[in-house]
Chains A and B, each alone.
Chain A
């Protein structure tokens, strides 16, 4: 046995490092994980003489309400330290989800209940299917690096969700839990879904994960004075949705391949998006603002990357595009020294339906499309990060082609931010780009 996939974890700044931190949804006991202090601490735990999953405590016998809680076995000769689920209880004997050590061992110490803290060991204890709830009760200060080797799976990712006051409240902006990482990286392995966190860092990888994971509504600011560090870093087959990244001397977002980056805001970085060697990435509805390079796909060995409905603003180079066969469509490239540039001629590039405005040079070594425009995008307040467009780029001229057959009209605004039309709902249904 292993911990149940239905374990829900509670992580608080005011929790404790040894807090067991978890409860199995649907279990018959009382959830003692959603509290700062541990529920109980035992120092006289004994492993049964014949069944190594059964434990007792003479001083504090286990009770029915303990069932479903995790117990963190912290020490004891013959005990294997770790977090275990109490799956049942009878006459003061707790049965755990798996063998806890050598039969007849005595003097074990363990903690039941209480929120855990944002530590490597906490995340390493999780299993596929688990959900960790990160409270915004106070700043989570890291005092050691986090590099989690544990994986979720395709069908059972491990989910990490920040919340403000109530689990599931999906906080935005400053309501998200803040992780002050210092020089410590926060790196997850495969199949993790990280949502609603805010991170400050100087580490080479600020907040990262390997393959097939997702970041949603996370904000990472990397203030390091060293170059080439990343705020957000992802491997392959990842999904980055509505995230904000800033790396003063590095990369707002550093990508692997075959993933999707949607609705992100990357700004005030050396590279807004660094996809130098990426293949088959899709960048959709993203904004890069005030970067040396907005989107850097600068290696000629990269291929098949797509940049669609993005806004590249105030960059020395809007897009460095040496990809052998990129698609670059329906974007705004405004106020850049070089709009789209490749180090050598890229004949395989497909660029069209873009709007180039206020650039010193629109394109270098790539060819503009026949349907490009050169209109002032009339940003509402670009200097302060508001890239909503004016009527010039409204989809009145159907800037993207109608669907084949001519039966369906298409009205898609150019660039990342879409206009709200008359009669539309007043509230945005997706988070806004800046300060979300």
Chain B
């Protein structure tokens, strides 16, 4: 059963821990964005949620409780690094590649996690498109 309440919604940064769990259970949630910027594996769904199938949802940084399934979409771990860039993390929570890797390649920006500065330095992120000046 398609969940009309939570399908095709923009729920970026929102938490549903206090929501009615029956509104979730045993439904199909399609095409919604639940992305959480600040913490990987964020607990945002109500306790006891089960039987939910997430189809083509953005579940980045969202913890999917056992008993629920994900079909398509994304469920990556993302964290901003010292270069000011959002990186996708591996299983060891170390950065593997920028979220926007293709754009970084185009902008001639770093895509090698070994070259992430040891200290915070956002200046390397922004390069003028016209003449390549950094600022």
Contact surface of A with B, Cβ cutoff 8 Å: 13-14, 120, 138-145, 147, 149, 178, 180-185, 187, 200, 202-205, 210-211, 223-228, 235-236, 256-257, 276-277, 299
Contacts of B117 in A (CB 8 A): none
A139 to B11, CA, bound (A): 10
Within 8 Å by CB of B32, from A141, A185, A235, A257, lies A141
Please name 14 further chain A to chain B contacts, defined as beta carbons within 8 Å, in addition to the given A200-B10, A202-B12, sorted by A numbering. A139-B10, A141-B57, A143-B72, A144-B74, A145-B100, A183-B86, A185-B100, A185-B103, A202-B35, A204-B86, A204-B125, A226-B122, A228-B126, A236-B129
In angstroms, how far is the closest chain B Cβ from the Cβ of A189? 8
A140 to B32, CA, bound (A): 8
Q: Please give me the residue from chain A that is nearest to B85 by CB atom.
A: A204
- Contact between A149 and B106 (Cβ–Cβ < 8 Å)? yes
Contacts of B63 in A (CB 8 A): none
Given A141-B58, A204-B125, also A277-B12 (CB < 8 A): no
Interface residues on B, range: 35 or more
- Contact between A277 and B129 (Cβ–Cβ < 8 Å)? no
Looking at chain B's contact residues, the main secondary structure is loop
Q: Please give me the residue from chain A that is nearest to B37 by CB atom.
A: A202
Given A145-B100, A228-B84, A277-B135, also A183-B32 (CB < 8 A): no
- Contact between B10 and A224 (Cβ–Cβ < 8 Å)? no
Given A182-B58, A182-B60, A185-B100, also A226-B84 (CB < 8 A): yes
CB contacts under 8 Å to A, within B111-135, are: 122, 125-126, 128-130, 133, 135
CB contacts under 8 Å to A, within B6-60, are: 7-10, 12-13, 31-33, 35, 37-38, 56-58, 60
A204 to B100, CA, bound (A): 9
- Contact between A147 and B103 (Cβ–Cβ < 8 Å)? yes
User: What are the 4 tightest A-B residue pairs by CB atom distance, in nearest-first order?
Assistant: A182-B35, A180-B33, A138-B8, A180-B10
A407 to B31, CA, bound (A): 61
A16 to B122, CA, bound (A): 37
Contacts of B7 in A (CB 8 A): 138
A140 to B7, CA, bound (A): 11
In angstroms, how far is the closest chain A Cβ from the Cβ of B98? 9
In angstroms, how far is the closest chain A Cβ from the Cβ of B51? 21
In angstroms, how far is the closest chain B Cβ from the Cβ of A148? 9
Q: Please give me the residue from chain A that is nearest to B123 by CB atom.
A: A228
Contacts of B122 in A (CB 8 A): 226-228
Q: Please give me the residue from chain A that is nearest to B79 by CB atom.
A: A183
A385 to B12, CA, bound (A): 25
30 contacts between A and B (CB under 8 A): A120-B102, A138-B7, A138-B8, A138-B31, A141-B8, A141-B56, A142-B58, A143-B74, A145-B100, A145-B102, A149-B106, A180-B10, A180-B58, A182-B33, A182-B58, A184-B99, A187-B103, A200-B10, A200-B12, A202-B35, A203-B86, A205-B100, A223-B12, A225-B37, A226-B122, A228-B84, A235-B129, A276-B135, A277-B133, A277-B135
In angstroms, how far is the closest chain A Cβ from the Cβ of B84? 6
- Contact between A139 and B9 (Cβ–Cβ < 8 Å)? yes
Within 8 Å by CB of A184, from B10, B31, B32, B100, lies B100
Within 8 Å by CB of A147, from B32, B37, B106, B128, lies B106
Contacts of B33 in A (CB 8 A): 139, 141-142, 180-182, 200
- Contact between B37 and A139 (Cβ–Cβ < 8 Å)? no
Contacts of B10 in A (CB 8 A): 139, 141, 178, 180, 200
In angstroms, how far is the closest chain A Cβ from the Cβ of B37? 5
Contacts of A236 in B (CB 8 A): 129-130
In angstroms, how far is the closest chain A Cβ from the Cβ of B111? 12
A23 to B133, CA, bound (A): 42
In angstroms, how far is the closest chain A Cβ from the Cβ of B87? 10
In angstroms, how far is the closest chain A Cβ from the Cβ of B3? 13
Q: Please give me the residue from chain A that is nearest to B73 by CB atom.
A: A143
In angstroms, how far is the closest chain B Cβ from the Cβ of A15? 11
Contacts of B128 in A (CB 8 A): 256, 277
A224 to B35, CA, bound (A): 12
In angstroms, how far is the closest chain B Cβ from the Cβ of A219? 13
How would residues 52 to 89 of chain B score, 1 for a CB under 8 Å from any chain A CB and 0 otherwise?
A: 00001110100000000000111000101000111000
Contacts of A203 in B (CB 8 A): 86, 99-100
In angstroms, how far is the closest chain A Cβ from the Cβ of B16? 16
Contacts of B102 in A (CB 8 A): 120, 145, 147
A141 to B29, CA, bound (A): 12
A185 to B80, CA, bound (A): 14
In angstroms, how far is the closest chain A Cβ from the Cβ of B119? 15
A149 to B31, CA, bound (A): 26
Given A180-B10, A180-B33, A227-B122, also A145-B99 (CB < 8 A): yes
- Contact between B72 and A182 (Cβ–Cβ < 8 Å)? no
- Contact between A299 and B135 (Cβ–Cβ < 8 Å)? yes
A69 to B3, CA, bound (A): 33
- Contact between A226 and B130 (Cβ–Cβ < 8 Å)? no
Most chain B Cβ neighbours within 10 Å, of A147, A182, A202, A226: A182
Q: Please give me the residue from chain B that is nearest to A301 by CB atom.
A: B133
Given A202-B12, A204-B85, A227-B122, also A143-B58 (CB < 8 A): yes
